Amino acid sequence: MTQGFTLWLTGLSGAGKTTIAIELERQLADRDVRIERLDGDTVREGLTRDLGFSKVDRDKNIERVTFVAKLLSRNGVGVIASFISPYRAARDTARQETTNFIEVHVATPIDTCAARDVKGLYAKAFAGELKDFTGVNDPYEAPVSPEITLHTERETLNESVQTILTYLEARGLIPVAEPALSIS
């Protein structure tokens, strides 16, 4: 059985976590890697729809996701978890409880995230109309020593994904990509 892993993408809303996770999932599936993607928005539609955005509820949300990631990763499945997950302690617990935990900080500046915000949530938070919004009126505790740091404001999607793939290959968690054949 192949080794499972938990790739935990953390960063502000609009940082690019979901976009990276979707492309990463596609490329890993193309390599026949057993992979599951857990995303903040989709998990809140089912597994955690009973939770709000208070600190207690955010911690409970990540606790539930960690449990799912633990089950999958210990059974040889690669997990891509893309969540704001604003609190270090919750991410530290995920690190302790899952297999081959890799923290990926999608370290996109808040002004870039706000410019990407199609729902207008940052504007509402900056205007005081939205409370408990991470990075504006609720804290985001950036990782201290993530295994990978991405800067989506200056990297292409492919560059960000390739950084992660290279790391996973180097750790022996995924097969090394076959070089493309050139036909002359």
Task: Check: CB of residue 91 under 8 Å from CB of residue 106.
Answer: no
Q: Which of 82, 85, 145, 160 is catalytic?
A: 85
Q: Which residue has the tokens 């054949």?
A: 181
Query: What are the tokens at 172?
Result: 């022996």
β-bridge partners, 6:
79, 101
Cα–Cα distance between 129 and 123 in angstroms, integer?
Answer: 9
- Number of H-type helices and E-type strands within the chain: 7, 5
DSSP letter string over 91-129? HHHHHHHSSSEEEEEE---HHHHHHH-TT-HHHHHHTTS
Does the annotation mark 73 as catalytic? no
Which residues are identified as catalytic? 85
